[in-house]
Structure 1
Amino acid sequence: MTAKTWNILGIVAAAVVIVGITIALVVRPWEQPGAAGPDGDVTAADTLDATTHVLDDAGEGAPVVVEFLDFECPSCALVYPEMESLRAEHAGEVTFAVRYFPLASHQNAFPAALAAEAAAQQGEFEAMYQRLFETHSDWAGTDDAAATFRGFAEELGLDMAAYDAAIADPATGDRIEADYEAGVALGVQSTPTIFIDGQRLELSHVDDIGAGIDAALAD
């Protein structure tokens, strides 16, 4: 093998090492295909905790639907109307809950979650949740969405001093991070990820959500 060939191979090998290091630094393991999920069977109780935002509580024995979401995610925005429709259709017979899973690729996802959590501290999570999705096209991808979210808080009649304090409080961000970490532990890699009675829904069309709920109700 010539010296020139060895030089070429050396350059290629170095490039592969550099690319490998770069991937390891910028890609979280759970965002890669085939990321490991939880060990053993997952139950509905495993997909929520005492802090989870429950939109509709149908009581013990009812199917439990938990969505891990990113407010800036276009797919979550597309799923939102279907989820609202299903909530109305199954009022009193299905429990619906949502958890935060802001993706690093969406610059406004975490600020939006902060706005929702700050509103939750004043008992207005659902109102902010709905406002964020209903106005998604107005703020997604903008540079000053936090100001827009503050405007939503004013429109909802929130105590703005308390809202601002909640936004600035690291504990509010910790609450969002706890949901994110719970999602990672469950194998969540993208949004929306929906669990029905602990089973992750294979979502290829919005109609799959209603079909999954119907199957859970039939069990």
Structure 2
Amino acid sequence: MEEKKSAKNTSDEKKIKNLISAVILLAGLFVGSLFVDFAQLVRGTGFSERNLGKTEIFEANGKTWVAYNEPKVDVQVLTDETCGEECDPSEALVWLRRVIPTISAQKINYDSGEGKKIVEKFQIKTLPSFIFSDEVEKTDFYSQAQILFEERGNEFLLKNEELGLAPGRYLSTPQINEGEASLGNSESSVKVAVFSDFQCPYCKIFWSTLRNTAKEYEDRILVGYKHLVLPIHSQANNSALASECALEQGKFWEYGDKLFAKQSEWPETEGKQKFKDYAQELGLDSSRFNDCLDKGKYQDKIDKNMDEAISFGVSGTPATFINGQFKNGVVSGEELKAAIDQELAK
């Protein structure tokens, strides 16, 4: 009987010791965590998760840290190290961090293995470009500006053209397609593609430069005209439709000469009668022309030109591509020829 009591006492003593040890251990951990928090605060070497959860802003080592309710968003910045300031994404990132402050950016060269995969996946035409992780969907900015993103899989491409970010470099350029108004040699290695609006006064200034340059270089280059109808011009779309109906009869450039020569006249009118009058003055088949214009036969073609302009980040006229070189606004004859000569010399 005494032996059983002794064994029971021994077992109880072990349990008590184990319990005391556990209490001491937990107390030590608690006190230790307090000490760590206090020591970190005194030394400025770090902050515990518990203390961080109690504040939204704090300072350490000359910096101010702010807590956000949004997730960390990874951004791949596709650029070209050889492009210089034109492809520098710094200013764009400053703005992006204002609307998505939790951005973590990684620069990727477009011609690296990873960069080439991104270019192919999103069919990227301009640099720099910004590809966001799917965490961007959880941000306030995305909920308010979803239209600025193009989703591919679990990644999101920022539409630079919608945001108004000017391209630093073009990876591809507009093609002068069969059926579009053109002058010169279709086999030439130098293509001059111009986005223009017949009601735009700056386009009128550039038109004569373009016409004279095309005549001077003849079959050494190919010049193509593309429509970018600006919404501020009430008759721009009708003039574009009329020019395409003239192209159908082989008189696009002559009709364009007429439109720009009479630019002070037809924009003040309504409807399509003036355009029909010009067609008759140029000796076009009036019945055929009028039917073409009244039906808006080439509206889809004009819309495609406009979508193409937007895809290349073009929003104003005139806008000129000389192969990979881009010229915004009115370009002098000397500047245009210099760009063409540079491309011909390659």
Bin of the TM-score, shorter chain as denominator length? 0.7 to 0.9
Of 296, 315, 323, 1:189 maps to 315
Task: Supply the distance in 1 between the matched residues of 2:265 and 2:275 (Cα, whole angstroms).
Answer: 11
Residue pair 1:67, 1:195 contacting (<8 A) in 2 also:
yes
Task: Supply the distance in 1 between the matched residues of 2:271 and 2:196 (Cα, whole angstroms).
Answer: 18
Aligned to 1:164: 290
Deviation of residue 145 (structure 1)? 6.6
Task: State the SS of the aligned residue for 2:195.
Answer: strand
Residue pair 1:47, 1:198 contacting (<8 A) in 2 also:
no
Aligned to 2:205: 78
- Asked whether 1:115 is paired with 2:242, we answer yes
What are the within-5 Å matches in structure 2 for residues 1-219 of structure 1? 30=161, 33-34=164-165, 41-43=171-173, 46-54=174-182, 56-140=183-267, 142-144=268-270, 146-203=272-329, 205-206=331-332, 207-219=334-346
User: CA RMSD, aligned part only?
Assistant: 2.6
Q: Match for 2:164: what amino acid?
A: P
Q: Which piece of structure 1 moves more, 117-126 or 64-73? A: 117-126
Q: Which has the higher contact order (CA 8 A, sep 6+)?
A: 1
Task: State the SS of the aligned residue for 2:199.
Answer: coil
Q: Match for 1:41: what amino acid?
A: L
Residue pair 1:103, 1:109 contacting (<8 A) in 2 also:
yes
Q: Match for 2:165: what amino acid?
A: G
Task: State the SS of the aligned residue for 2:264.
Answer: helix
Task: Supply the distance in 1 between the matched residues of 2:242 and 2:339 (Cα, whole angstroms).
Answer: 30
Q: Match for 1:58: what amino acid?
A: N
Identify if the C-alpha distance between structure 1 residues 41 and 115 changes in structure 2 by more than 3 Å, giving closer, same or farther.
same
Q: Match for 1:148: what amino acid?
A: K
Q: Structure 1 length as normaliser, TM-score?
A: 0.76
Unaligned runs of 5+ in 1: 1-19
Task: Supply the distance in 1 between the matched residues of 2:306 and 2:168 (Cα, whole angstroms).
Answer: 14
Deviation of residue 111 (structure 1)? 0.8
Task: Supply the distance in 2 between the matched residues of 1:73 and 1:97 (Cα, whole angstroms).
Answer: 18
Give the structure with the higher percent helix.
1
- Per-residue deviation, residues 55-104 of structure 1 (Å, max 9, x unmatched): x2224243110101000001100101111111121112111110111100
Q: Match for 1:179: what amino acid?
A: N
Residue pair 2:200, 2:317 contacting (<8 A) in 1 also:
yes
Task: Supply the distance in 2 between the matched residues of 1:69 and 1:203 (Cα, whole angstroms).
Answer: 10
Pairs aligned (count): 189
Task: State the SS of the aligned residue for 1:200.
Answer: strand
Identify if the C-alpha distance between structure 1 residues 205 and 61 changes in structure 2 by more than 3 Å, giving closer, same or farther.
closer
Aligned to 1:7: none
Task: State the SS of the aligned residue for 2:185.
Answer: coil
- Per-residue deviation, residues 131-181 of structure 1 (Å, max 9, x unmatched): 1122223333x0337322111101112222211211122442112111111
Task: Supply the distance in 1 between the matched residues of 2:294 and 2:245 (Cα, whole angstroms).
Answer: 10
Q: Match for 1:176: what amino acid?
A: I
Unaligned runs of 5+ in 2: 1-143, 149-159
Task: Supply the distance in 1 between the matched residues of 2:229 and 2:168 (Cα, whole angstroms).
Answer: 18
- Per-residue deviation, residues 107-152 of structure 1 (Å, max 9, x unmatched): 1111110110111122221221121122223333x03373221111
Q: Match for 2:171: what amino acid?
A: D
